[in-house]
């Protein structure tokens, strides 16, 4: 304790400190004074203090201002003066009370009036004041507030007045039309419980409440006077609660309130009313004997059962109320027939719930034993369980079966042993009870006696020759349970009386296993002394020594070792006790086992040594002990999960699987055991030892991959190599998993930046979208211009992945934006192809070339169009990309969008005013591309944009020709609607109509024919609309033929030749087929008539080389005419028919075979004579028209030169025949036939 300083040495306060202290004292005094003046009503003093500068809003310790002080003490003049001085009337103290509330609380009505009239009180302060005044019974304040402020009186004031019994206040509130909520019964209950009966009467008079819930509460609380008052006021004595269905008598009986029950009974309460659970009041009263006796004396029905079929007697027996059981059984016997059965069942229930007193009570009450015998337990069982020796003797003398079984197979001897009733047990044994008779689970009386530690009962049973080695259904002998509980005396007594120390249970456990698992040393020593086997294994291979080691029981371990237990015995999965000790860090056990010459290099089934397991689990001290025992620090292991696991291994093993052939150092580094790593490095473990599994790496790699920075530092401090030895390097592992701290440490250690398997750290960082790792690598000198096998730079990869932040970092490092890949793609190409719009914006802002080309002339815009990247296309167009730039083959963006049917992209390009008629090399324009693939939506956009529908490609084909060849009618219809020229032919002279006929597309051919007819009609008659022509087109070819079609086939038969006769049935069957299939059927019919197709052609005048497809063409052309026209054709000769159809007849064929050309035939009139209007102009565009002939040929070769080729030239002849239908304006030579 420090010595006190003398007065001379004490330091006085400075003048400044003294001045501050003086000011605080004066300030506190002033505050105290103004509060005191206000509280005591010293108006003049208050005025003087306020004039002197005192704060009128100063707060005391309770948070009250002078105004609140004055209001609380009723100082009306002071309150009025403070309000005039501007004091705040809305202020509340720390309890939340305002001045108005305090005035109402103390009944100062004048102050209440002043505050309400002259001050601005807080919101809802009037309601609070009314509640307080009602609760405290300040009638004048209540009346004043109701008169001045309240338009609608709230409920809480009425509740407060009712609860506290202020009748006059209640009258005033009810007069002001205050109402009590019909659902609010708590207030009424409170009033009743407090004995405020006058309030209750007043409420009943005004019909504000019914009183029934309050009656239940009063009955349960035992307020007999309140119950009587409620009943007098009109409450229903038998009213039930909505949920439980209880009456007031139920509530009183359950709570044991005798007086309340008597009052209720005096008002004729229903004695046998049942609630929702079907419980009667007498059943609920079994716990309260006085109420029970009262209800029984009132003749309550004792036979009514609840929803669980329990009568009052059964319910009392289940709950263990012995006195109630005695009373009910005595009252119930003999009343009704069911009473005896209930009493017998009550015996069973009491016995099951182990209530011996209830059993004794019921037995002494004289329950019928015969009725009880029918239950689960006989009376002998019950008597034995309760220890009633005389009753047991009586039952046995009356002939009861001493070995009778319960439903569970237990005998009376079993019950006597279980409840330790020695006298009853002896009586049963003297009656020759079977001592080894087991119940259903296999337990004998000796089992239950051992399990409950009844030593005297065990002695009696063994003296009666009970078998100590008899096992239950799980093969457990009595000594097993004694060993389990560690009861040395019982174990010793059982072993002394012949119990086996090596009996096995269903798991293969012996009593020694059990006692060691629970650490019972003395019991274990007793079993060992009794000769228990030390090396018996369980079904999973565990020995007693393993149990002792795993449970860290050193004393038991030493006991087993001293008695010669095998220390290296292999358990399940090859684990020895030493492995277990190392795994769980049991240091003392480990040392004892090492001292007992346990094998330190012993491997498990997984190939792990003891030291590896210790390193894997991070057991540093165990590692020290093993290293001192010269365990191999670099021993590898090949991990694999075995098929099964022992009960000792259920919760073991690392959470992260380790690769094959890893070392202890690798395992410790992978599992982040820093201290173990440091120790192994210091002890000389190989720091660069790689796991034998591919891609596993070194300890440094796995630590970097896992982000264990401290371990990485420790390994680097011991000069661990940063090389990957042909596999991924530690640097790549850190970058891949985004461990920045680890990456920083490796870079500071000058880790190699070389790429492995085509992967460099920088490209890996880009691929992982790791900007921070990228910056660290760039600062460390990683080459941002290094390419991969495809010539990609990191900037290409960032553009492809859409890594915007990475791209910005590379741009900041001045990455080359125009550097091409091996295919010539710039980053802009890559971003456009991948649809990475944010990256694209950044590249354009960095002034990347939007017109750059890669192989085949692809620009970024074309690349985006090819992948349907709409937003990218829009952005590139905004960036002034050339909309008409084409590939090397001439394909523009519009062409690509049309060919791929990318309608949105096509619309965007059209709106950007892209050229629509630019022709690609050998592929035509955009309309060709769309028509050739039947892309109807793209064609609609092109037609709407006024694309040239008659634009020829390199071979002269128009989009209509391409659409016809697809066999898809809607595109053809669209082109015809768009004024496509049906007379426009290819360079070889083929018209779209030829293509339709070639593909047997009758509908398409008819539409084109009708369009041409409409065109010709319009030329002669002022023009006819295309819609009219289309609407008048023929029906589809697969329509069912009618009479007109049958006439056509009749005409065709005449055309084929009158020598061939077909039946009407054959013609009808032909009429139901399509044009394509009719010729095949016709050939079969001709063959059936003995006339082949070749013979038919000979009859037609052909020279053998004009074959089936020419005939089919003839058929197809003829089918374009009406029935009347075909019938007229059938009356002509074959030569005349062919001339009328514009096809070479037999004479022309013979002339051609003699070298006569078409021109000479025309001049001789063989095919008709051209008029002077046939001037040789080209009515079909580039197609030349020869005067005097209605046939145009794409080749100058004569028919005679072709005829010499024989039948092999049918395909060229078919092609020529298909294109030789006259389509010119030369009407003179075609006047005998309709225009086609």
Whether the per-residue pLDDT at 307 is higher than 60: the answer is: yes
C-alpha pair distances (Å), 1143 with each of 292, 984, 1115, 1118, 1137? 124, 21, 12, 11, 9
Nearest to 623 by CA among 703, 677, 702: 677
Q: Percent of the chain at pLDDT above 70? A: 67
pLDDT in tens, 654-667: 344 677 788 899 99
Look-up of token digits 């074309």: 862
* CB distance 464 to 429 below 8 Å: yes
Q: Is the pLDDT of residue 479 over 50?
A: yes
d(CA 780, CA 747): 7
The confidence band for 1232, taking pLDDT boundaries of 50, 70 and 90, is very low
pLDDT given at position 1009: 61
Q: Counting Cβ atoms within 10 Å, is residue 19 exposed (0-12), middle (13-18) or buried (19+)?
A: exposed
The pLDDT confidence band at residue 205, using thresholds 50, 70 and 90, is low
DSSP at 233: T
pLDDT for the residue numbered 54:
81
In which element (H, E) is residue 7 found?
none
- DSSP code, position 658: P
How confident is the model at residue 1010, as a pLDDT? Answer: 62
Q: Which of 379-393, 563-577, 1034-1048, 1098-1112 has the highest mean pLDDT?
A: 563-577
Q: What is the pLDDT of residue 477?
A: 93
**CB 678 within 8 Å of CB 714:** yes
Highest mean pLDDT among 211-215, 868-872, 967-971, 1162-1166: 868-872
Tokens of 318: 């289940």
What pLDDT does 461 receive? 93
The pLDDT score that the predictor gives to residue 176 is 67
Separation of alpha carbons 782 and 774, rounded Å: 9
CA distance 502 to 964: 96
- The pLDDT of residue 765 is 82
pLDDT tens digits for 396-412?
876 788 888 888 889 98
Q: Considering only 70-79, 397-406, 576-585, 1222-1231, which range has the smallest mean pLDDT?
A: 1222-1231
The 3-state DSSP class for residue 77 equals helix
What is the model's pLDDT at position 413?
A: 92
- Distance, in Å, from the CA atom of 1191 to the CA atom of 1212, rounded to the nearest integer, reads 16
More confident residue, 268 or 25: 268
pLDDT tens digits for range 500-527:
898 999 998 999 999 998 889 999 999 9
With a cut of 90, say whether residue 446 has pLDDT above it.
Answer: yes
What are the two backbone dihedrals, phi and then psi, of residue 1224, each rounded to the nearest 5 degrees? -85, 175
pLDDT digits (tens, 9 = 90+) for 700-725: 888 988 899 999 999 888 888 888 76
**Average pLDDT in the chain:** 73
| Span between the terminal Cα atoms of the chain, in Å | 133
Q: Using one digit for the tens of pLDDT, what is the confidence trace for 128-156?
A: 877 887 778 788 877 777 776 555 566 67
Reported pTM: 0.51
Contacts 24+ apart (CB under 8 A), 912-915: 912/877, 912/883, 913/883, 914/883, 914/884, 915/883, 915/884
Q: Each residue of 666-675: pLDDT tens digit?
A: 999 989 999 9
560 alpha carbon, distance to own chain's centre: 54
Is 880 in a helix, a strand, or coil? coil
- Greatest Cα pair distance, the chain, in angstroms, is 160
Q: Which of 694-703, 1125-1134, 1138-1147 has the highest mean pLDDT?
A: 694-703
Residue 1055 φ/ψ, nearest 5 degrees: -65, -40
Which segment, 361-370, 465-474, 688-697, is predicted with the most confidence on average? Answer: 465-474
**Look-up of token digits 């009719």:** 1078
Over range 59-88, report the average pLDDT: 85
Residue 445 pLDDT greater than 90, yes or no? yes
163-172, 396-405, 884-893, 1024-1033: least confident range: 1024-1033
DSSP string, 177-206: T----TT--HHHHHHHHTT-HHHHHHHHHT
In the predicted structure, residue 460 carries a pLDDT above the cut 90: yes
**Which of these ranges, 210-214, 471-475, 586-590, 1115-1119, has the smallest mean pLDDT?**
1115-1119
Closest by CA position to 734, among listed 726, 744, 724: 744
Please tell me the predicted confidence (pLDDT) of residue 280: 93
Please determine, for residue 553, whether its predicted confidence score (pLDDT) is greater than 90.
no
DSSP per residue, 687-723? TTPPPSSTT---HHHHHHHHT-HHHHHHHHHTT----
Query: Is pLDDT above 90 for 1106?
Result: no
pLDDT digits (tens, 9 = 90+) for 757-775: 778 887 888 888 888 887 8
Among residues 557, 506, 518, the alpha carbon closest in space to that of 534 is found at 557
**Structure tokens of 772?**
């921070």
- Mind listing the domains of the chain with CATH numbers? 22-184 (1.25.40.20), 1043-1219 (no CATH)
Token code pair at residue 509: 């456990």
Residue from 686, 631, 679 nearest 661 by CA = 686
Q: Quick one: average pLDDT of 254-276?
A: 90
Residue 1195 has pLDDT above 70, yes or no: no
What is the structure's pLDDT at 270? 92
């Amino acid at each position: 304790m420090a010595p006190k300083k003398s007065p001379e040495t004490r330091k006085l306060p400075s003048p400044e400190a003294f001045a501050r202290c003086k000011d605080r004292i004066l300030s506190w005094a002033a505050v105290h004074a103004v509060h005191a003046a206000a509280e005591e009503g010293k108006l003049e003093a208050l005025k003087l203090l306020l004039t002197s500068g005192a704060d009128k809003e100063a707060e005391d310790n309770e948070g009250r201002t002078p105004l609140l002080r004055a209001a609380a003490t009723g100082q009306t003049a002071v309150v009025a003066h403070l309000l005039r001085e501007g004091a705040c009337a809305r202020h509340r103290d720390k309890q939340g009370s305002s001045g108005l509330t305090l005035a109402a609380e103390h009944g100062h009505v004048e102050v209440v009036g002043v505050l309400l009239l002259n001050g601005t009180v807080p919101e809802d302060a009037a309601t609070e004041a009314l509640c307080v005044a009602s609760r405290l019974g300040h009638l004048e304040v209540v009346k004043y507030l109701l008169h001045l402020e309240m338009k609608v009186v709230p409920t809480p004031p009425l509740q407060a007045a009712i609860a506290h019994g202020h009748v006059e206040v209640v009258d005033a509130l009810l007069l002001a039309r205050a109402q009590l909520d019909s659902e609010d019964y708590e207030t009424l209950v409170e009033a009743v419980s407090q004995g405020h009966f006058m309030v209750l009467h007043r409420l009943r008079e005004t019909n504000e409440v019914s009183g029934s819930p309050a009656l239940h509460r009063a009955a349960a609380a035992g307020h007999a006077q309140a119950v009587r008052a409620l009943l007098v006021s009109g409450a229903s004595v038998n009213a039930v609660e909505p949920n439980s269905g209880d009456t007031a008598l139920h509530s009183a009986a359950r709570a044991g309130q005798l007086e309340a029950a008597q009052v209720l009974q005096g008002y004729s309460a229903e004695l046998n009313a049942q609630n929702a659970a079907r419980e009667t009041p007498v059943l609920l009263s079994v716990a309260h004997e006085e109420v029970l006796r009262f209800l029984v004396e009132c003749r309550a029905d004792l036979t009514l059962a609840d929803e669980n079929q329990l009568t009052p007697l059964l319910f009392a027996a289940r709950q263990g109320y012995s006195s109630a059981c005695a009373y009910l059984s005595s009252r119930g016997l003999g009343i009704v027939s069911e009473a005896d059965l209930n009493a017998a069942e009550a015996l069973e229930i009491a016995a099951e719930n182990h209530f011996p007193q209830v059993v004794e009570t019921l037995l002494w009450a004289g329950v019928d034993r015969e009725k009880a015998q029918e239950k689960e337990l006989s009376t002998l069982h019950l008597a034995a369980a309760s220890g009633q020796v005389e009753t047991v003797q009586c039952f046995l003398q009356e002939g009861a079966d001493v070995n009778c079984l319960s439903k569970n197979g237990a005998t009376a001897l079993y019950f006597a042993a279980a409840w330790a009733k020695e006298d009853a047990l002896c009586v049963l044994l003297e009656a020759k009870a079977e001592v080894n008779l087991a119940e259903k689970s296999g337990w004998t009386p000796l089992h239950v006696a051992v399990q409950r530690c009844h030593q005297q009962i065990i002695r009696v049973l063994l003296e009666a020759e009970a078998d100590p080695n008899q096992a239950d259904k799980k093969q457990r002998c009595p000594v097993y349970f004694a060993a389990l509980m560690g009861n040395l005396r019982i174990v010793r007594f059982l072993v002394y009386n012949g119990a086996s120390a090596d009996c096995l249970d269903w798991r293969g456990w012996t009593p020694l296993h059990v006692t060691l698992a629970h650490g019972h040393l003395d019991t274990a020593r007793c079993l060992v002394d009794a000769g228990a086997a030390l090396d018996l294994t369980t079904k999973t291979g565990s020995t007693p020594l393993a149990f002792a080691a795993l449970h860290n029981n050193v004393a038991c371990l030493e006991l087993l070792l001293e008695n010669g237990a095998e220390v290296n015995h292999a358990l399940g999965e090859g684990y020895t006790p030493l492995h277990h000790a190392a795994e769980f860090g049991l240091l003392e056990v480990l040392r004892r086992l090492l001292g007992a010459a346990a094998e330190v290099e012993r491997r498990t089934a997984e190939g792990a040594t003891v030291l590896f397991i210790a390193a894997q689990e991070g057991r540093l001290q165990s590692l020290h002990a093993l290293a001192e025992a010269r365990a191999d620090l670099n021993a590898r292991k090949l991990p694999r999960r075995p098929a099964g696991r022992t009960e000792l291994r259920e919760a073991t093993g690392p959470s992260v699987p380790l690769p094959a052939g890893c070392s202890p150092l690798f395992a410790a580094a992978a599992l982040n055991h820093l201290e173990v790593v440091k120790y192994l490095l210091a002890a000389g473990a190989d720091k660069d030892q790689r796991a034998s599994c591919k891609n596993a790496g070194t300890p440094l790699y796995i630590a970097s991959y896992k982000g264990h920075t401290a371990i990485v530092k420790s390994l680097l401090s011991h000069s661990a190599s940063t090389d990957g030895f042909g596999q991924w390097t530690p640097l790549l592992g850190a970058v891949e998993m985004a461990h920045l701290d680890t990456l920083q440490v490796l870079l500071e250690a000058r880790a190699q930046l070389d790429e492995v398997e085509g992967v460099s750290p920088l490209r890996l960082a880009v691929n992982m979208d790791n900007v921070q790792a990228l910056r660290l690598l760039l600062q460390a000198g990683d080459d941002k211009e290094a390419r991969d096998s495809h010539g990609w730079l990191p900037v290409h990869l960032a553009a492809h992945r859409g890594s915007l932040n990475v791209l910005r970092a590379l741009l900041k490092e001045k990455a080359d934006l125009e550097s091409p890949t091996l295919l010539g793609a710039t980053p802009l190409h890559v971003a456009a192809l991948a649809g990475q719009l944010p990256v694209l914006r950044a590249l354009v802002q960095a002034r990347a070339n939007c017109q750059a080309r890669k192989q085949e002339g692809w620009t970024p815009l074309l690349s985006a169009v090819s992948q349907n990247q709409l937003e990218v296309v829009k952005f590139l167009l905004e960036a002034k990309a050339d909309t008409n730039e084409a590939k090397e083959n001439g394909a523009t963006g519009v062409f690509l969008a049309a060919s791929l049917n990318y309608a949105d992209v096509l619309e965007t390009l059209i709106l950007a005013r892209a050229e629509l008629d630019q022709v690609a090399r050998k592929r035509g324009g955009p309309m060709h591309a769309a028509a050739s693939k039947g892309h109807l939506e793209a064609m609609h956009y092109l037609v709407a944009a006024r694309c040239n529908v008659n634009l020829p490609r390199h071979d002269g084909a128009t989009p209509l020709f391409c659409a016809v060849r697809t066999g898809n009618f809607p595109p053809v219809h669209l082109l015809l609607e768009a004024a496509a020229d049906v007379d426009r032919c290819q360079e070889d002279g083929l018209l779209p109509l030829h293509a339709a006929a070639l593909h047997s597309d009758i509908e398409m051919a008819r539409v084109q024919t009708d369009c041409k007819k409409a065109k010709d009609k319009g030329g002669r008659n002022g023009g006819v609309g295309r819609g009219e022509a289309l609407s008048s087109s023929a029906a589809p070819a697969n329509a069912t033929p009618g009479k007109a079609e049958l006439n056509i086939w009749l005409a065709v038969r005449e055309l084929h030749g009158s020598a061939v006769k077909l039946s009407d049935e054959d013609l009808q069957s032909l009429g139901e087929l399509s044009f394509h299939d009719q010729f095949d059927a016709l050939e079969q019919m001709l063959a059936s008539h003995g006339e082949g197709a070749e013979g038919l052609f000979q009859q037609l005048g052909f020279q053998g080389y004009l074959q089936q497809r020419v005939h089919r063409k003839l058929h197809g052309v003829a089918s374009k005419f009406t029935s009347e026209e075909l019938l007229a054709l059938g009356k002509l000769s074959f030569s005349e028919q062919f001339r009328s159809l514009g096809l070479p007849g037999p004479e022309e064929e013979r002339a051609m075979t003699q070298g006569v050309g078409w021109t000479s035939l025309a001049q001789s009139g063989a095919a008709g004579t051209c008029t002077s209007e046939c001037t040789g102009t080209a009515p079909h565009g580039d197609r030349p028209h020869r005067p005097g002939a209605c046939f145009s040929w794409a080749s100058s070769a004569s028919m005679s030169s072709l005829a010499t080729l024989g039948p092999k030239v049918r395909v060229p002849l078919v092609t020529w025949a298909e294109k030789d239908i006259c389509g010119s304006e030369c009407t003179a030579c075609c006047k005998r036939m309709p225009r086609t």
